[in-house]
Structure 1
Amino acid sequence: MASENNFVQAAIPRFDGHYDHWSMLMENFLRSKEYWQIIEDGISAPTEVEALTNAQKMEFEARKLKDLKAKNYLFQAIERPILETILCKETSKDIWDSMRKKYQGTARVKRAQLQALRRDFETLQMKEGESVMSYCARTMETSNKMRFHGEKMNDVTIVEKILRSLTPKYDYVVCSIEESKDIDELSLDELQSSLLVHEQKMNRNSTSEEQALKAYTFISSNSRGRGRGRGRGRGRADRGNRDGGNKEGCGNFRGNDYGKGRGRDFDKSKAA
């Protein structure tokens, strides 16, 4: 029994100053305990002149008990310094309304925040290299904030936003989804699942192309290396043959010229 009470205590959302987030969690918690209706409707004590039947008295006592339990959950969710300012409130509805007035903020501030969020939502674009999961999470984060600030947004609005703000490489995927599915009936989970499947296919194709390109580059570089080696060997041999021939030719040429020169200089008739 003690462990069960500890679990209930730990499950109560604690107010941390962020009213919109806390009120959403707290409302859901009170609904799960079937106490939200008493906070919405409140409880009013009957006047003395009213004559209640036994059934009505029992119903009123049951509502009072529910109200006390709802107040107990609210007391456990609120820190003592804040709690001391609302101890004079008689019902759980009074406490809830007081918290909303204190911490929800003015309507003007909320409108300004909503306008900024609308602008962020309209300018959202998928970044180059960003994953589908990351972009869908960014879009949902902004849309949830808009809903918290009072924006009534349907899922189809978010679906259309994601489809028109993907990177160009998803263009054929978007066309395929729009032609094969009814966008008005397409849920966010279905859209994300479909995009993830296409993303995985594109990643596999990209990996295969990269591996093929690396293999082709490796083979080409090796072929060029062997070709240059053979060319350099033949070049050296050819240059060696040409140099040897030239040297031999030059020697013969010089020798013949030398012989011819000496023959012209020595005239036998003049010597006689």
Structure 2
Amino acid sequence: MASDSNFVQAAITRFDGHYDHWSMRMENFLQSKEYWQIFEDGIGAPTEVEALTNAQKMEFEARKLKDLKAKNYLFQDIERPFLETILCKETSKDIWDFMRKKYEGTSRVKHTQLQALRRDFETLKMNEGESVMSYCAKTMETSNKMRFHG
């Protein structure tokens, strides 16, 4: 069971401010866990709990539990500086929508990110004792990030 827990930790991508990459991987992860529907539809709060049948109450409670689990994955994934901005959000859908609105790349933000990546690319140098493969990997990583941002 511990190895399964390690797999989940390894599967989740930590949010580092690059929303486009993170959201793509996180959406895929949440779909594989069958939680993505909660992010699209929300939990759908009933108007009056007393008027619900037992089956409807059980379904609502199941959606709330699924939402709580999805929210837990988001909390595991988001670093403290980013986490503090979403703590007041009630549901996982609220968190996802807020993250999209706040961090989704506008053209100005993407341009700034590209400038930073270009600076990183131009200042890359091979360190003392570093293998050629390691240096090539760093170069390709920066190049791929640039390509990802257009």
Give the TM-score of the pair, scaled to structure 2: 0.69
Q: Give yes or no for the alignment of 1:78 onto 2:66.
A: no
Match of 1:132 in 2: none
Residue 25 of structure 2 aligns to a residue whose secondary structure is: helix
Q: Give yes or no for the alignment of 1:45 onto 2:48.
A: no
Deviations 1:206-228 (A, max 9, x none): xxxxxxxxxxxxxxxxxxxxxxx
Q: Give yes or no for the alignment of 1:96 onto 2:96.
A: yes
Residue 70 of structure 2 aligns to a residue whose secondary structure is: helix
Q: Residues of 2 paired with 1:62 and 1:104: CA distance?
A: 30
Deviations 1:177-233 (A, max 9, x none): xxxxxxxxxxxxxxxxxxxxxxxxxxxxxxxxxxxxxxxxxxxxxxxxxxxxxxxxx
Matches within 5 A, 1:1-272: 1-48=1-48, 51-106=51-106, 109=108, 145=148
The number of equivalent residue pairs is 118
**Shift in alpha-carbon separation, 1:22–1:2, aligned structure 2, 3 A:** same
Residue 93 of structure 1 aligns with an amino acid whose one-letter code is K
Q: Residues of 2 paired with 1:49 and 1:68: CA distance?
A: 19
Task: Mark the structure with the bigger radius of gyration.
Answer: 1
Identity rate, percent:
81
Please give the root-mean-square deviation of Cα atoms over the aligned residues, in Å. Answer: 2.5
Q: Residues of 2 paired with 1:92 and 1:49: CA distance?
A: 21
1:48 deviation in Å? 2.5
Q: Please, which runs of 5 or more residues in structure 2 have no aligned partner? A: 113-143
Residue 2 of structure 2 aligns with an amino acid whose one-letter code is A
Which structure is richer in relative contact order (CA contacts within 8 A, separation 6 or more)? 2
Q: Which has the higher helix share?
A: 1
- Contact 2:20 2:105 (C-alpha < 8 Å) held by counterparts: no
Q: Residues of 2 paired with 1:27 and 1:38: CA distance?
A: 11
1:49 deviation in Å? 6.5
Residue 26 of structure 1 aligns to a residue whose secondary structure is: helix
Deviations 1:18-75 (A, max 9, x none): 1101110000000000000101111132123761111111111110111001000000
Residue 76 of structure 2 aligns to a residue whose secondary structure is: helix
- Contact 2:19 2:103 (C-alpha < 8 Å) held by counterparts: yes
1:85 deviation in Å? 1.3
**Shift in alpha-carbon separation, 1:20–1:93, aligned structure 2, 3 A:** same
1:100 deviation in Å? 0.9
Q: Residues of 1 paired with 2:34 and 2:21: CA distance?
A: 20
Match of 1:231 in 2: none
Give the TM-score of the pair, scaled to structure 1: 0.39
Residue 9 of structure 1 aligns with an amino acid whose one-letter code is Q
